Chain A
Amino acid sequence: MIRILGSRLLQLILVVIGIGTLLFFLVRVSGDPALAIAGSDATAENIASIRQSLGLDRSILEQYLSFLQNLCTLNFGESYTYLLPAMPLILAALPNTLYLSFVAFLLAIVIAVPAGIYAAVKRNSFSGKAVMSISMLGQSIPPFVIGIFLILVFSVWLRWLPSFGNEAGLSIIMPSVALSAVLMARYTRLIRAYFLEELNRGYVRTGKSLGFTNARIWFKHILRNISVPMLSLIGIDLGKFVGGAVIVEAVFAWPGIGSLMINAVKARDYPLLEAGVFAIAVMVVLLNLIVDLLYLYIDPRIRAKVN
């Protein structure tokens, strides 16, 4: 238990320092941030004073050390565009991103589990194959393309749902569907594959011979056994999922970290960008930690090994 926490913590530190360093040097190499802030009609004195206030007149090593120091205290400086400290801005947008991701993820699981089991049980029938075909198609549409299709159908043609922002309660529907579609399709296919594997196992035969109902065997026994490999895949997918969330937020102008970061990119607002990347890194490592702990909860064999 402590070992898992420790190794994740180490990973967190490595990731944050690595990415922070990368961003730090890229920003410094690509040009003088002071010029970008000052604008094209600034005087040399203006630029010099901005350089001084940002600490850019010190040596690169000094700058890097103070950057690391600020990283530890979560101080990324003021956003160039909002003129407010960058980290609180990101934290204010975080709940919206978490809300969207959580709903999308839940949606993917709620649909994919029954769909995958159905496709496995009815593997030879037309309907089972249809589920597989649809999921193959679903896997091939990137989230922002699904977003465009959804907006076109439900906002423009049917006029049922708002096409951007998060004002009405219904606003969550299209972004979460767009974000979850790829996962839904992927998990349907994987659950079917794992499920078919498990169907041949001895414990399924034993359950049948004891007169258990199909539903009991499927949901209580098989589902529990396939949840371990599924979990490890979920852990791997988390990164891609967060990447997808950023783009979906941009498509639907969803007021989360993603929209904030895309605007920061366009305005070359590096403090905001660094704070955003930092927040996402921490989030992904923490989610991976939760996945690790879920293993322990689900599989007593792993629990025994760790203890």
Chain B
Amino acid sequence: MQPKMAIGNLFLGSKIASKIAPNGKKSYFLQAGPICLFLLAIASILSFTANLWVAQDPGYQDLISRLKPPFSKVGDLNYYFGTDQLGRDVFSRLIHGGKISFAVGLITATLAMIIGGALGLIAAYFRGWQEAIILRVVDIQTAFPFLIVAIAIVSIVGSGLTTIITTLVIWLWTPFARLAHAKALIVKESEFYKAAISSGRSGFGLVFQHIVPNVVGSMMVVWTFIVAQTIIAESSMSYLGLGVPLSTPTWGSMLSEGRNYLENAWWIALFPAFAIMLTVFCVNVFGDWLSDRIDPQTKKI
């Protein structure tokens, strides 16, 4: 068979074999990684600076110009994406709504990475009962539909940005713990690690100098995919009315309001739907690209 693929299989695992065709060409999507990162950066900057450049207040209700189609002009106001059932500007709400998606995505994934990574390292460093408990929890949580529990928790405790981020972190630390644990165990088998131990290193110094640098790359790859998952989870919860309070626009809540007006005002739901789809798509494409650069084997863990 083609030698190139065989070598790919031998050294780098299945992911490279699937990504590099036998003639050595990379698949088309991988090239788009940096472009996607650029687009995401632009989109998040536009969202976070929305107060500075979007003229319309996202919460301003103009009941006279309700359900106006895209590109309507009322007085000297331009409704590029139309207005919703309360006469609010869909364009403005869309840009402002991005704030929640991006903020929750970035903060949650980062916190989950720090907590999950730390627990994974503890499990791998001490082995023993710490490992048993942590891995057991990871197993149970991975198999269980935690979104259901998250919904229950939020409904009981009450919704809000902090509750959402906390519940999502409780849900999403497990992939990081699993990965950090697996990678750290590999490092512990290596010669340089044994050399470090025999030269008297231990504790934090050992972990931070020798294990962490070897784990961080793959953690970053998983981090991007978790950002995508978080954005989906947050918008799902907002869709169900369990997100941030309704006075703050989010893509999920816009979508759920638009669901009732699909018959006569498709634009209310369609624009946030595209926003969610394109954002998650870009994050995933970037994650794919990153995983091929940094760490081709990790994605499946």
Contact flags A119-133 to B (C-beta < 8 A → 1, else 0): 000011000010011
Distance A211 CA – B18 CA, assembled complex (angstroms): 26
Taking a contact as CB atoms closer than 8 A, the residue among A26, A124, A163, A194 that contacts B153 in the complex is A26
**CB under 8 Å from chain A, chain B span 271-300:** 273, 276-277, 280-281, 284-285, 288
Distance A11 CA – B137 CA, assembled complex (angstroms): 11
B269:A152 contact, CB within 8 angstroms:
yes
Contact flags A154-173 to B (C-beta < 8 A → 1, else 0): 01100000010000000000
Taking a contact as CB atoms closer than 8 A, the residue among A139, A155, A197, A246 that contacts B17 in the complex is A197
Specify which chain B residues have a CB less than 8 angstroms from the CB of A284 in the assembled complex.
Answer: 143-145
Specify which chain B residues have a CB less than 8 angstroms from the CB of A11 in the assembled complex.
Answer: 140, 143
Specify which chain B residues have a CB less than 8 angstroms from the CB of A239 in the assembled complex.
Answer: 142-146
Q: Does A72 contact B (CB under 8 A)?
A: no
A136:B285 contact, CB within 8 angstroms:
yes
Q: A144-B255, A242-B148 are in contact. Are A30 and B241 (CB under 8 A)?
A: no
Which candidate, A14-22, A88-96, A299-307, is the interface stretch facing chain B?
A: A14-22
Specify which chain A residues have a CB less than 8 angstroms from the CB of B145 in the assembled complex.
Answer: 238-243, 246, 280, 284
Q: Does B31 contact A (CB under 8 A)?
A: no
Question: Max chain A CB contacts within 10 Å: which of B158, B232, B280, B285?
Answer: B232
Which candidate, A48-56, A62-70, A215-223, A265-273, is the interface stretch facing chain B?
A: A265-273
Q: Does A102 contact B (CB under 8 A)?
A: no
Q: Does B1 contact A (CB under 8 A)?
A: yes
Specify which chain B residues have a CB less than 8 angstroms from the CB of A145 in the assembled complex.
Answer: 235, 255, 273, 276-277
**CB under 8 Å from chain A, chain B span 76-129:** none
Report, as a range, how many residues of chain A touch the other chain.
35 or more
Contact flags B250-279 to A (C-beta < 8 A → 1, else 0): 000001001100110010011001001100
Q: Does A236 contact B (CB under 8 A)?
A: yes
Q: A145-B273, A247-B240, A273-B152 are in contact. Are A140 and B142 (CB under 8 A)?
A: no
**CB under 8 Å from chain A, chain B span 8-25:** 9, 14-15, 17-18, 21-23
A136:B29 contact, CB within 8 angstroms:
yes
B15:A156 contact, CB within 8 angstroms:
no
Closest to B22 in A: A124
Q: A265-B152, A284-B145 are in contact. Are A148 and B281 (CB under 8 A)?
A: no
Contact flags B1-45 to A (C-beta < 8 A → 1, else 0): 100011001000011011001110001110000000000000000
Closest to A8 in B: B143
Closest to A267 in B: B155
A277:B157 contact, CB within 8 angstroms:
no
Q: Does B197 contact A (CB under 8 A)?
A: no
Specify which chain A residues have a CB less than 8 angstroms from the CB of B219 in the assembled complex.
Answer: none
**CB under 8 Å from chain A, chain B span 127-161:** 140, 142-149, 151-153, 155-158
Specify which chain A residues have a CB less than 8 angstroms from the CB of B242 in the assembled complex.
Answer: 265
A246:B151 contact, CB within 8 angstroms:
yes
B6:A148 contact, CB within 8 angstroms:
no
Interface, chain A (partner B; CB < 8 A):
11, 14-15, 18-19, 22-23, 26-27, 30, 123-124, 129, 132-133, 136-137, 139-142, 144-145, 148-149, 151-152, 155-156, 163, 192-194, 196-197, 199-200, 205, 235-236, 238-243, 246-247, 250-251, 261-262, 265-266, 268, 270, 273, 276-277, 280-281, 284-285, 288
